């Protein structure tokens, strides 16, 4: 029999049963006006109405619970989102601080590097300036010494104008050279203009040499002196042109074979004095001498 065809004892059709798990829709109670069995029919309708109302209330409670769960889930999601956002902001700030610190360290390192490089360059520039100033000072002092040397040359050249004094000087220069060579025959080389004077003093120079050897060493020794026969003379007096060879006076002594010589010119003596007495000369000329 079909459910729709089922009837109550009163003869009214029964309501069709809802499928399992499906809520029944609310229907108002049906009151039958039939005379037969009317009281029982009203009672069943009232019971059905109470069950339906109870089920409707259960649906409302379930809906309220669902809404409460949805609200709870949304609140949880909101809190979680806020927590994630706060953590992301914190991580961002930490990374930003790291990057800022790294850039600060990098800038500081670059600054220190440039500062050191600048300091090194300043030290180099300072040393270079000091060296240049020192070189200029040395050059100026050398210029002064050169001028003193040139003035000394002029004064030596002026000695030749005093014939008597120059003869005595030539005798002493020849004797000094003879004592160094200790040869029995010596050749004398002089300026061409001094040849007459030198020839006139050769006997006196040889005699003085023999006398000194006899008195100082007890030796009896003579020497033969002669002017260079090859016609090789010393340069002329200074003319003011430093590029032209010159000689202020004096002589050069040579052995007979020409292998050994003794430069006893006034120029050689002056160079020797300047070399040996350079510290004293610089001390005299300059208040703060520069050490070489």
Give residue-wise pLDDT tens across range 262-290.
999 999 999 998 888 888 888 888 865 45
Average pLDDT, the chain: 83
pLDDT tens, residue by residue, 10-62: 444 444 444 444 444 444 444 444 444 445 455 555 555 666 667 767 778 88
Going by pLDDT thresholds of 50, 70 and 90, the confidence category of residue 6 is very low
- Is 170:204 a contact under the CB 8 Å cutoff? no
Q: Mean per-residue pLDDT for 169-190?
A: 96
Distances (CA, A) of 278 to 244, 267, 271, 292: 25, 16, 10, 11
Q: Which of 76-85, 201-210, 223-232 has the highest mean pLDDT?
A: 201-210
Lowest-confidence range among 44-58, 108-122, 223-237?
A: 44-58
Query: In this predicted structure, what is the pLDDT of residue 53?
Result: 65
Going by pLDDT thresholds of 50, 70 and 90, the confidence category of residue 205 is very high
Query: In this predicted structure, what is the pLDDT of residue 31?
Result: 45
Partnered with residue 255 across adjacent β-strands are: 186
pLDDT over 90 at 215, yes or no:
yes
Lowest-confidence range among 34-48, 63-77, 177-191?
A: 34-48
Residue boundaries of the structural domains of the chain: 37-159, 163-285
> Considering Cα of 200, then 202, then 208, then 214, what sign does the dihedral take?
negative
Lowest-confidence range among 107-111, 115-119, 274-278?
A: 274-278
- Is 254:191 a contact under the CB 8 Å cutoff? no
Q: Mean per-residue pLDDT for 177-204?
A: 96
Going by CATH, does the domain composed of 163-285 fall within 3.30.1360.200? Answer: no
Q: Mean per-residue pLDDT for 173-200?
A: 96
Higher pLDDT, 122 or 17: 122
Burial state string for 238-265 with b = 16 or more CB within 10 A and e = fewer than 16: beeeeeeebbbbbbbbbeeeeeeebbbb
pLDDT over 80 at 213, yes or no:
yes
């Amino acid at each position: 029999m079909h459910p729709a065809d089922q009837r109550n004892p009163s003869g009214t059709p029964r309501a069709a049963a809802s499928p399992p798990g499906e809520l029944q829709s609310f229907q108002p109670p049906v009151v039958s006006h039939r005379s037969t069995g009317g009281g029982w029919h009203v009672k069943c309708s009232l019971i059905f109405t109470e069950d339906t109302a109870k089920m409707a209330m259960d649906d409302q409670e379930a809906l309220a619970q669902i809404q409460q769960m949805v609200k709870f889930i949304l609140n949880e999601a909101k809190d979680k989102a806020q927590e994630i956002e706060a953590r992301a902001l914190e991580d961002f700030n930490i990374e930003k601080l790291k990057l800022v610190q790294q850039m600060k360290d990098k800038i500081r390192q670059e600054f220190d590097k440039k500062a050191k490089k600048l300091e090194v360059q300043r030290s180099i520039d300072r040393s270079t300036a000091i060296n240049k100033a020192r070189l200029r000072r040395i050059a100026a002092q050398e210029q002064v010494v050169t001028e003193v040397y040139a003035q000394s040359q002029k004064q030596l050249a002026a000695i030749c104008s005093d014939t008597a004094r120059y003869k005595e000087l030539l005798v002493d220069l020849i004797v000094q050279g003879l004592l160094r060579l200790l040869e029995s025959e010596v050749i004398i080389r002089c300026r061409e203009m001094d040849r007459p004077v030198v020839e006139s003093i050769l006997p006196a120079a040889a005699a003085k040499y023999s006398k000194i050897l006899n008195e100082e060493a007890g030796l009896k020794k003579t020497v033969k002196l002669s002017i260079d026969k090859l016609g090789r003379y010393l340069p002329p007096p200074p003319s003011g042109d430093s590029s032209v060879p010159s000689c202020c006076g004096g002589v050069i002594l040579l052995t007979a074979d020409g292998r050994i010589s003794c430069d006893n010119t006034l120029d050689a003596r002056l160079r020797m004095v300047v070399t040996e007495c350079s510290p004293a000369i610089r001390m005299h000329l300059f208040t703060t001498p520069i050490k070489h």
